[in-house]
């Protein structure tokens, strides 16, 4: 019997992280939060999705879920036209004006789209990476909305990528089951941490097996240089050091500052300038190429149209998809396919609330069916807030182990939802 969605529940969940300096960078400082969506269904299986926010304003994404929820209530999963479903949430003829396809409404759509996919994977009894990886090529292609990206990728090109992704599938799966998915840690160098804490965390991470670490930059440049030297001296010349400016710099400033930071041999500079600045990223990428510094971005790229241009303009050499900034699995699919076509490795953005849980599935699927390589691929890892999830990530020796439970891994524990619901939960009273 077909499963029908009977209700859309949304929870404003906030964790008081700001005080500790966790998650602090040059631009953002707040309480890690989630707009947490639960789909009630006729079959009793619950679909879970969330979008990550930064504290104040989480009520807006919750409100946007409510404004869009009539598109899901009553929806039957049987024979669902994926593009029509996707557009019902991303191109509502009234709500679209508030974007289009960006910010509050698009993030809400992301939580909702993902909840539907979580539901589908649960009903199929498969973890999301397997649900996607075993899907027919045509069903995957039909899940992509090619509107506004057809100048970069066609359905036929997508089909060809996904069909080729069947070759060697078994070997790649065996490799992941044996070794897990490569990862890097961002827990060592938040901007709010004093030097001693950075040194201690770097040593501990190295001892745990991490050979790729990310630090925040964008404070006083002399401080950035000092911290970069400190971390590089701890990890030696061979480990990778990534830097993340969280958009604070102007274009010329980014180039000048990275020329100074080049002494610490950064592997990439992430978000060197404003997230919307495709041409600016392209100029920075071109200026830093001779120093071997890659430009990475994507966690705040609003939608597939921004990713399309970043790829067309050769502005990025690392494509940092986010699972819920864009409108969920359908839109991520389109970005993975474009990245594969343009030959740019995907290293998902993670951290926040539930982002590690989400993106492990996407990275695994990308390796198994789309990008089909581990070269330059790493999933970000941040050791925050995993205890609130029913099926949290499992990371050992710097690698993500394959999830085995059905679904998309972002179902939250009812006790955590109750404790941290804002403003009525005990944590906020």
Catalytic center residues? 216, 349
- Total binding residues toward a second copy, as defined by CB under 8 A: 62
Shortest reach from residue 56's CB to a second copy, in Å: 4
Site membership for a second copy, residue 279 (CB under 8 A): yes
Cβ proximity to a second copy: between 46 and 91 the closer is 91
Site membership for a second copy, residue 313 (CB under 8 A): yes
Shortest reach from residue 99's CB to a second copy, in Å: 5
Q: Which member of 159, 197, 274, 341 binds a second copy (CB under 8 A)?
A: 274
Site membership for a second copy, residue 6 (CB under 8 A): no
Q: Which stretch binds a second copy (CB under 8 A): 118-126, 267-275, 330-338, 419-427?
A: 267-275
Asked if residue 55 lies in contact with residue 29, where contact means CB atoms within 8 angstroms, the answer is no
Asked if residue 374 lies in contact with residue 350, where contact means CB atoms within 8 angstroms, the answer is no
Cβ density class 164-186: b for 16+ within 10 Å, e for less: ebeeeeeebbeebeeebbbbbbb
Cβ proximity to a second copy: between 109 and 176 the closer is 109
Q: From CA 241, how far away is CA 216, in angstroms rounded?
A: 11
Q: Which residues make beta-bridge pairs with 295?
A: 269
Site membership for a second copy, residue 13 (CB under 8 A): no
DSSP state of 27: S
Cβ proximity to a second copy: between 110 and 398 the closer is 110
Q: From CA 224, how far away is CA 208, in angstroms rounded?
A: 25
Asked if residue 319 lies in contact with residue 347, where contact means CB atoms within 8 angstroms, the answer is yes
Site membership for a second copy, residue 199 (CB under 8 A): no
Site membership for a second copy, residue 308 (CB under 8 A): yes
Q: Which member of 42, 150, 373, 404 binds a second copy (CB under 8 A)?
A: 150
Q: Which member of 6, 21, 46, 57 binds a second copy (CB under 8 A)?
A: 57
Q: Which member of 16, 100, 392, 425 binds a second copy (CB under 8 A)?
A: 100
Task: Kindly give, in sequence order, each residue whose CB lies less than 8 Å from that of residue 382, ignoring residues fewer than 6 positions away.
Answer: 185, 186, 187, 350, 351, 352, 356
Q: Write each residue from 200 to 229 as x if it is in contact with a second copy (CB under 8 A), else as -, in one continuous string.
A: ------------------------------
Asked if residue 346 lies in contact with residue 319, where contact means CB atoms within 8 angstroms, the answer is yes
Q: Which stretch binds a second copy (CB under 8 A): 75-83, 288-296, 301-309, 342-350?
A: 301-309
Shortest reach from residue 60's CB to a second copy, in Å: 5
Q: Which member of 13, 162, 300, 393 binds a second copy (CB under 8 A)?
A: 300
**Which pair of structure tokens corresponds to residue 419?**
């404790």
Q: Which stretch binds a second copy (CB under 8 A): 103-111, 132-140, 237-245, 365-373?
A: 103-111
Q: From CA 328, how far away is CA 325, in angstroms rounded?
A: 8
Residue for token digits 């030097």? 195
Q: How far apart are the first and last CA of the chain?
A: 44
DSSP state of 267: S
Q: Which member of 302, 316, 364, 385 binds a second copy (CB under 8 A)?
A: 302
List, in sequence order, every beta strand (DSSP E) within 115-190: 181-189
Site membership for a second copy, residue 406 (CB under 8 A): no
Site for a second copy in 18-47 (CB under 8 A): 27-31
For 156-169, give the secondary structure using H, E and C.
HHHHHHHHHCCCCH
Asked if residue 37 lies in contact with residue 10, where contact means CB atoms within 8 angstroms, the answer is yes
Shortest reach from residue 246's CB to a second copy, in Å: 10
Q: Which member of 16, 21, 63, 376 binds a second copy (CB under 8 A)?
A: 63
Peptide bond between residue 423 and the one before it cis (omega within 30 degrees of 0): yes
Q: Which stretch binds a second copy (CB under 8 A): 55-63, 160-168, 186-194, 381-389?
A: 55-63
Site membership for a second copy, residue 247 (CB under 8 A): yes
Tally of CB atoms within 10 A around 328? 29
Helix (H) or strand (E) holding 416: helix 414-420
Q: From CA 11, how far away is CA 312, in angstroms rounded?
A: 38
User: Which residues here bind a second copy, judged by CB under 8 A?
Assistant: 27-31, 53-57, 59-61, 63-64, 67, 91-107, 146-151, 247, 250-253, 273-280, 283, 300, 302-303, 305-306, 308-309, 312-313
């Amino acid at each position: 019997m077909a499963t029908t969605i009977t209700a859309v529940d949304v929870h404003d969940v906030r964790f008081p992280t700001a005080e500790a300096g966790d998650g602090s960078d040059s631009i953002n400082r707040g309480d890690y939060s989630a707009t947490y969506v639960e789909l009630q269904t006729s079959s009793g299986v619950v679909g879970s999705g969330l979008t990550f926010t930064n504290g104040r304003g989480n009520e807006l994404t919750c409100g946007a879920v409510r404004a869009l929820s009539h598109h899901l209530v009553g929806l039957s999963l049987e024979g669902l036209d994926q593009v029509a479903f996707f557009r019902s949430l991303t191109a509502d003829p009234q709500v679209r004006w508030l974007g289009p396809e960006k910010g509050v409404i698009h993030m809400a759509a992301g939580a909702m789209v993902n909840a539907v996919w979580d539901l589908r994977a649960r009903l199929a009894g498969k973890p999301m990476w397997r649900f996607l990886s075993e899907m027919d090529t045509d069903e995957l292609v039909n899940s992509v909305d090619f509107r506004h990206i057809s100048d970069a990728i066609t359905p036929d090109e997508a089909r060809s990528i996904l069909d080729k992704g069947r070759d060697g599938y078994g070997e790649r799966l065996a490799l992941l089951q044996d070794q897990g998915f490569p990862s890097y840690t961002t827990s060592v160098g938040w901007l709010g941490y004093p030097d001693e804490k950075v040194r201690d965390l770097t040593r501990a991470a190295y001892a745990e097996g991490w050979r790729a670490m990310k630090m925040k930059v964008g404070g006083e440049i002399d401080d950035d240089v000092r911290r970069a030297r400190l971390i590089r001296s701890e990890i030696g010349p061979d480990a990778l050091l990534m830097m993340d400016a969280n958009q604070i710099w102007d274009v010329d400033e980014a180039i000048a500052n990275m020329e100074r930071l080049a002494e610490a041999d950064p592997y990439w500079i992430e978000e060197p300038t404003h997230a919307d600045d495709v041409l600016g990223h392209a100029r920075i990428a071109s200026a830093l190429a001779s120093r071997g510094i890659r430009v990475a971005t994507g966690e705040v790229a609003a939608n597939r149209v921004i990713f399309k241009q970043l790829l067309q303009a050769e502005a990025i050499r690392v494509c940092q998809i986010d699972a819920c900034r864009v409108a969920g699995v359908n839109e991520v699919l389109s970005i993975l396919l474009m990245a594969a076509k343009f030959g740019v490795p995907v290293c998902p953005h993670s951290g926040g609330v539930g982002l590690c849980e989400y993106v492990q599935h996407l990275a695994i699927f990308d390796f198994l069916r789309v990008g089909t390589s581990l070269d330059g691929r790493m999933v970000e890892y941040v050791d925050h807030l995993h205890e609130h999830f029913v099926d949290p990530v499992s990371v050992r020796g710097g690698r993500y182990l394959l999830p085995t439970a059905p679904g998309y891994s972002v179902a939250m524990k009812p006790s955590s939802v109750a404790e941290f619901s804002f403003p009525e939960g005990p944590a906020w009273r």
